[in-house]
Amino acid sequence: MIQNMDRVEQENTNIVTSDTVLSELTVCDEIYSIDSPLTQTADADLVEISIVVSGNGIHRVFNDTTECQTGDMYILKTNIPHGYYAKNNDEKPTVRRIVFDPAIISQNNTFDLNDDSFCYGVFRDKLPISYALLNSKTFHVVEDLCKNISEELQSKGTNWEEAVKSHLSLLMINISRYINMAETLQLSRHKEWITVSRAIKLIEEHYSDYNMTLESIAAELFISPSHLSRLFPKVLGESFLNYLRNLRVTTACNLLTNTNLTNTEIVARCGMRDIPSFYKLFKSVMGETPYQYRMTQHSNQNNKGEKSMELIEISENLQKGKAKVVKELVQKAIDEGIPAAKILNDGLIHGMNIVGEKFKNNEVYVPEVLVAARAMNMGTQILKPLLLEDGIESSGKVCLGTVQGDLHDIGKNLVKMMMEGKGLEVVDLGTDVSPETFVRTAIEQNCQVIACSALLTTTMGAMEAVVEECKKAGIRDQVKVMIGGAPISQEYCDKIGADCYTPDAASAAEAAVELCKK
């Protein structure tokens, strides 16, 4: 009986190696850690070498378990679910992992189980996993090669890339001599493992496609849907549908935590039908809505950064539009010695960013944005003298206006608020602005971006005139031109040669920040 099956604890550090395939080499264990972000290799077929360097335990592959001990080595694809566990109340085994792109040691960039020479024949018997039991002598040879790889990645001395390739090739050659998968593990489901591993690869490649189904994956593998449906719980321990749902929810969690994508964009990337079904699935799995999850993650990140309670309160009250309270909290933070730049970035701008995200997701509307912007302005008025004293510059400068012939300003004003909420300095030219005025202001005020708004189709042509005027003035390479408004589209943006089109105010602010950086 297996009890207390805790996962092996592993230590990970991030060290980017180079832009070559060597940047996809990873070594990590409890003794030393060299790690390169695998997110950069999402499309690569990565191989993992796992070596039990001390202790005994349980190794689980798919839904099968087998005992493991010091000297056991497994070589498998990284997308195959597996893990190491403690047996009963024993200590956890210590496992060394090496994850790499096979392109490092081969010109063959694909994972081809039918190629006997692939990875020096390590993957024989056409299995997606291989096993070797190392004797004492071979164990020390393998351990020395792993340490050599680690040292080369750390020191990056002369010809270190070639040295790493050589050590890794020697490692795979030594391993290939000891492969004994079928006899040692006595696996009776080789074909089933291969089928499910191929199905997993197809799912990972196409899960963003809403039309992907069990039937479409089965058709790709030339097997019946009923057979594939039976294989998943048998081999993997969960149904095809649950695996796909969990993959989509996990991807959504990563996007909610690490990006500013809207719910609509996340739905498209995760292969969901629509926002209501996405919300329903996400809440059933995570116990909270996507928005609640994102706020929780951001809050956790802020807490890790030891953000003061005053800054959290500033952010929260700004979101509620409590201008008077925000003004008092900003003054309190100043009196407590919190730097003005920190108050601005972690309090005011942080709160306005959240308002902007909610606005993009249709969770708040124009009135809420207006009162939040008013609170933002109250806080920045107190901070401005201090920011000037500290010599702190804005994150960029934009001249903004509604184009010539158009007197509408509601959308423009909303964009201005969002841009200022991002820490940008905005020169508001108002409405009915001529192309010459846009360009002259950009030159005189040293603006990085010209932002043009239009509501009427009859005034759209003035935007092209702004682009042409920039060319005449010789600033086209120095100043970016943004356009937006109800009749504007990406197609029109491309047609007139503008640099950026955004569909809403929040997106415009984000794009302006990026353009100013460039």
The pLDDT assigned to 304 comes to 45
Residues 479-500 have pLDDT tens digits of: 999 999 888 999 999 999 999 9
Angstrom CA distances, 358 to 141, 325, 435, stand at: 57, 21, 33
Residue 278 clears pLDDT 90, i.e. is over it: no
Domains of the chain: 21-188 (2.60.120), 192-295 (1.10.10.60), 307-392 (1.10.1240.10), 395-518 (3.40.50.280)
Burial 13-43 (b: 16+ CB within 10 A, else e): eeeebeeebbbbbbbbbeeebbbbeeeebee
**With contact defined as beta carbons under 8 Å apart, do 48 and 98 qualify?**
yes
The pLDDT assigned to 452 comes to 95
Angstrom CA distances, 202 to 42, 55, 187, 221, stand at: 13, 36, 24, 9
What DSSP letter does each residue of 201-264 carry, written as one string?
HHHHHHTT-TT--HHHHHHHHTS-HHHHHHHIIIIISS-HHHHHHHHHHHHHHHHHHH----HH
CA distance 342 to 296: 21
Residue 82 clears pLDDT 60, i.e. is over it: yes
Report phi then psi at 179, rounded to 5.
-65, 130
Residues 50-59 have pLDDT tens digits of: 888 888 888 8
- Angle (CA) 500-502-507 rounded to 5° is 115
**With contact defined as beta carbons under 8 Å apart, do 61 and 80 qualify?**
yes
Kindly indicate the confidence band of residue 205, based on its pLDDT and cuts at 50, 70 and 90: confident
CA distance 307 to 330: 14
Q: What percent of the chain has pLDDT over 70?
A: 81
Residue 441 clears pLDDT 90, i.e. is over it: yes
HEC string of 299-349 equals HHHHHHCCCCHHHHHHHHHHHCCCHHHHHHHHHHHHHCCCCHHHHHHHHHH
**Is the pLDDT higher at 173 or at 305?**
173
Give the residue among 34, 9, 32, 33 at the shortest CA–CA distance from 24: 34
Q: Which residue has the tokens 């997993």?
A: 200
Mean pLDDT of the chain: 77
**Is the pLDDT higher at 296 or at 170?**
170
Residues 310-324, mean pLDDT to the nearest whole number:
86
Q: Which residue has the tokens 């990085």?
A: 448
Kindly indicate the confidence band of residue 30, based on its pLDDT and cuts at 50, 70 and 90: very low
What DSSP letter does each residue of 54-115 carry, written as one string?
E--EEEEETTEEEEE-TTEEEEEETTS-EEEE--TTSPPPEEEEEEE-GGGT-S--S--TT-
Residue 27 clears pLDDT 70, i.e. is over it: no
**Is the pLDDT higher at 210 or at 91?**
210
> pTM above 0.95?
no
The pLDDT assigned to 124 comes to 66
Furthest CA-CA distance within the chain? 84
Residue 236 clears pLDDT 80, i.e. is over it: no
Report phi then psi at 420, rounded to 5.
-65, -30
Encoded amino acid at 226, one letter? S
CA distance 379 to 3: 57
Residues 386-440 have pLDDT tens digits of: 776 665 566 789 999 999 988 887 778 878 877 887 778 899 999 899 999 999 9
Kindly indicate the confidence band of residue 279, based on its pLDDT and cuts at 50, 70 and 90: confident
DSSP letter at 33 equals E
CA distance 94 to 55: 6
Kindly indicate the confidence band of residue 9, based on its pLDDT and cuts at 50, 70 and 90: very low
Give the residue among 414, 425, 320, 328 at the shortest CA–CA distance from 378: 328
The pLDDT assigned to 388 comes to 64
CA distance 182 to 179: 9
Burial class (CB in 10 A: 0-12, 13-18, 19+), 6: exposed
Residue 6 clears pLDDT 60, i.e. is over it: no
Residue 121 clears pLDDT 60, i.e. is over it: yes
Residues 450-470 have pLDDT tens digits of: 999 998 888 899 999 999 999
Please name every residue paired with 425 in a beta bridge, in sequence order, or none if there are none: 397
**With contact defined as beta carbons under 8 Å apart, do 175 and 142 qualify?**
yes
